[in-house]
Chain A
Amino acid sequence: MKTTFISTHAIGESVRMNIMRSQERIAEAQLELSTGRHADVGVAVGGQYASLSYLRQEREEMVVLDRSNSVLSTKLGVTQDALEAMATSAQDFTAELLSAQGPSGPSVIKAQGETRMTMLKDLLNTNFDGAYMFAGTNSGQPPMEDYFANPTPASRASVEAAFLAEFGFTATDPAVETISDTDMIAFLNGAYSDLFEDPDWGTNWSSASDTKPTVRISSTETVDGAVSANDEAFRKLASVFAAATDLGTLDLNPNTFEAMAHWLAERTGQAVQDVSVVQAQVGTVEGRIADAVDRIQTQREVLDLRIGDIEGVDAFEASARVTSLLTQIETSYAVTSRIQQLSILNFL
């Protein structure tokens, strides 16, 4: 009776299989070393793949939010700059109004009103990346027309018409000198101010939308992504500059001019305050974005960690595996060649 037996085929086959399996594992381990994740993630993580793919797209969303947030902050920065320029312009104008005494006063005010009106238009029509920043959701159109354009735009025409309706003559008529200070103030507070209220403002002055575009800054938060030119601050500024330009400034009698200059200074002061309110609103949004960016950064790190936990491989472990597999294969080679030499045929 034979107690041990092994066939020649089995001797060779077991070593061959061993070599093949080791080589396959080496290929896997090398791939894992170079990518840092399992060679076949799906097979390696199995049921956890659902959370993995969910986390991955979640992480992708964070990256995108990060990028879109940085675009949005740039936009708001541009808006903030424009607002700053408006506030400065208005403050300078107040100073000019207060110092505009003497015979040259009216012409200085008129000239300054014209310049600043154009500047207001340019600032309100600030365009960034193809979108008008002060247009609300109607960002495809510049919110304000050029007040001094030819032919005369609706805004300027409405001012002239209101003047004519109030006093019975145009602002270029010499009779402008006869307007009393009380009449002028009454006009400014009455019919003239109405020109800058709805619906006249929307029809003649601004094509901006009252609605502000909402932009998502994190998975749960949205903010107003732009400012509307329909805000009180801009109406006041427009009314001040238009009055300085087109209400017969040069021909008014000194008394009336002084009353008007006073009214203008007061109103400009209010406008400056309103602009700072808008600035504060934009600043709040910018602050929320900055918070969101920080939070997103933290979330990204957490997500990266969790993704790494699921799909990552330990590089040290993988490289140790490669080393031991290499040793194993080399041993197998040595054994194979020894076994092949080991045959009784060589001794017969």
Chain B
Amino acid sequence: MSLSLSFDIGRSSLATTAERSAVVSRNVAGVGDPNATRKDALVVTSYGGGVRVNGVGRVSNAALFDNLVSATSNYSAKTAEMGGLDIVESVMGGIELGRSPTALLGNLRDELQFFSSAPNDIIRAQSAVAAAKDLATQLNTLSTTVAQVRQDADAQLEQSVADLNSLLETFEEVNNAIIRGTQFNEDVTDYLDQRDGLLLAISEEVEIRTVTRSNNDVVIFAAGGATLFERTPRTVEMVPSPVLPAGTDGGAVYIDGMPITGPNATAPAQSGRIAGLATLRDDTLPSFQAQLDEIARSLVEAFAESDQSAVPALPDVPGLFTYAGATGVPAAGTLVDGLAAIIEVNANVDPDQGGDPFLLRDGAISDPLNPAYSYNTAGEAGFTGRINELMGNFSTQVTFDAAAGLETTASLIEFTSSAEGWFQKMRSDVDDEREYTTIVVEKSREVLSSNVGVNLDEEMTKLLDLERSYQASSRLLQVVDQMYEAILAATS
């Protein structure tokens, strides 16, 4: 043992303390960053009794992190789904505003009731026609909105796919840096933090599972086992659809050539924004669209006019409600895709388009010049037979297409309220799940952050320790120096 060895040890202590305080300052800098983890300098005793920093450790908790990743996927799926449903709901306006199809349908029947009590009153006739137009317009608007939200979902899917691809590219760089750093025993903790952040961002787009291999290399599997990343990123692709009319399916999302959405997916994605948007675009909204189309078709059917001749020979034709390109009344119980978007009130009965609203009472809306379809052959102002018949049609049991996913035999008004109930049930379920997943995400993040995050007080106390240690080491060097001096003075 010599004084010079003490001197070396003291110097190594100073160097180590400096490095450790650097780690503390890194921790303090990351105190506000939710993704930052707590780092610790790993101090080892070196030969000769000195100390040195042998690398920087990182506190992590794989189980909690996996939890957060899957919760994030769930949360973003439900948020994406709810976003679309809320747009449709904002157009429908709920019960209070009376803009829902059921409310408007009820309103039309009520106007007809008023009209039947004064069938000679032009104002009542106009009000009834106006109510019919409101209903048709709202069905158009709802249908357009549904199509628009589907298209938006398609565009967002495209965006998600693009984001995912660019995230995977960044991931590749970071992952390579980590592998290299690990091989050379460098400090990769900051890269690890960054990679965890990327994994969280990826999990927002699609649900993932990760496997860590030697040298800290991570492999990402997406829903259903498709490989998303192994050494290099795999391609995620989707063919976007510029327009998505009712009855057409949007393009599926492929990961590494395997579909993860749509009917061909063997193991479709369950969570992640891509899954949420795909559900919205491919399941929920097409079903609601089909229901709207069935409501529209059933309206055309309920208001259709039949041949009133003694010996009826002509087919039934669309009356008050018709649609562009109508060639007759659509077949009963058979879905006509996109009908809700084009249903309209016949111009012959619409006073705004030069029509005669009294045709609602008399019939022959389809063709005012064809007496065969006239119900009020005597042209009597007090004729209520047709109006009463129309009102009766609101509660007649008719057949609906099973493709709409609701009851197949119901009255028009029952079916419409069922469709609305179905939609609100969807919203309610999605909202429940979203609320639940929100809490899970928050909790997971809190627990994870609690576990691996930085505590300022702890860092400050560490700093106090380091300060003392530094002071002590300095003192030691000073003492050794004095001892040298004493020896030199004694020997000179």
Instruction: Point out residues on A near B: beta carbons under 8 Å.
Output: 5-10, 13-14, 17, 35, 40-54, 56-58, 60-61, 63-65, 67-68, 71-72, 129-132, 135-141, 209, 211, 213-216, 219, 222, 225-226, 311, 343-345, 348
Contacts and interface: CB of A to CB of B under 8 A. Distances in A.
Contacts of B458: 5
Contacts of A211: 380
17 contacts: A6-B455, A14-B446, A42-B423, A46-B427, A46-B429, A48-B421, A53-B417, A54-B413, A57-B413, A64-B114, A65-B113, A129-B118, A214-B384, A222-B388, A344-B457, A344-B461, A345-B460
Interface stretch (B97-105, B225-233, B280-288): B97-105
A64 B102 CA distance: 16
A52 B95 contact: yes
B379 to A, nearest CB: 8
B428 A47 contact: yes
Contacts of B107: 57, 60
B242 to A, nearest CB: 31
B384 A47 contact: no
Contacts of B120: 130-131, 139-140
A348 B381 CA distance: 96
Contacts of A6: 450, 455
B456 A42 contact: no
B117 A5 contact: no
Contact of A216 (B388, B413, B416, B417): B388
A47 B425 contact: yes
B351 interface: no
A129 to B, nearest CB: 6
Given A129-B121, A140-B120, A7 B382 contact: no
A74 B453 CA distance: 79
B346 interface: no
Interface in B83-135: 89, 94-96, 100, 102-103, 105-107, 109-110, 113-114, 116-121
A226 B445 CA distance: 75
B113 to A, nearest CB: 5
Given A42-B427, A130-B121, A226 B382 contact: yes
B431 interface: yes
B420 interface: yes
A209 B380 CA distance: 8
B117 A47 contact: no
Given A7-B450, A42-B94, A57-B417, 20 more contacts: A5-B450, A8-B31, A9-B33, A41-B94, A43-B431, A46-B425, A46-B428, A48-B421, A61-B106, A72-B117, A129-B121, A130-B118, A131-B118, A131-B381, A139-B119, A139-B382, A213-B119, A215-B384, A216-B388, A216-B391
8 pairs of A and B residues whose beta carbons are closest in the complex: A50-B421, A140-B381, A7-B453, A57-B106, A139-B382, A46-B428, A42-B424, A49-B424
Contacts of B383: 137, 213
B380 A137 contact: yes
Contacts of B457: 8, 343-344
B113 A141 contact: no
B414 interface: yes
A72 B384 CA distance: 14
Contact of B102 (A13, A54, A348): A54
Interface in B13-69: 31-34, 38
A9 B31 contact: yes
Contacts of A17: 442, 446
Contacts of A35: 96
A50 B423 CA distance: 9
B382 A8 contact: no
Interface string B434-463: 000000001001100111111111101100
A9 B421 contact: no
B393 interface: no
A76 to B, nearest CB: 11
A43 B422 contact: no
Contacts of A57: 102-103, 105-107, 109, 413, 417
Given A13-B449, A53-B103, A60-B107, A42 B381 contact: no
A44 B310 CA distance: 54
A71 B455 CA distance: 77
Nearest to B92: A42
Interface in B195-226: none
**Of listed A48, A65, A68, A226, residue having the most chain B CB within 10 A:** A68
A60 B382 contact: no
B465 to A, nearest CB: 13
A344 B456 contact: yes
A43 B423 CA distance: 10
A56 B100 CA distance: 11
B428 to A, nearest CB: 3
B53 to A, nearest CB: 20
B381 A141 contact: yes
B425 A138 contact: no
Contacts of B109: 57, 61
B384 A213 contact: yes
A214 B389 CA distance: 11
B263 interface: no
B114 A56 contact: no
Contact of B420 (A53, A68, A72): A53
Contacts of B449: 7, 9-10, 13
A5 to B, nearest CB: 7
Contact of A131 (B102, B378, B382, B416): B382
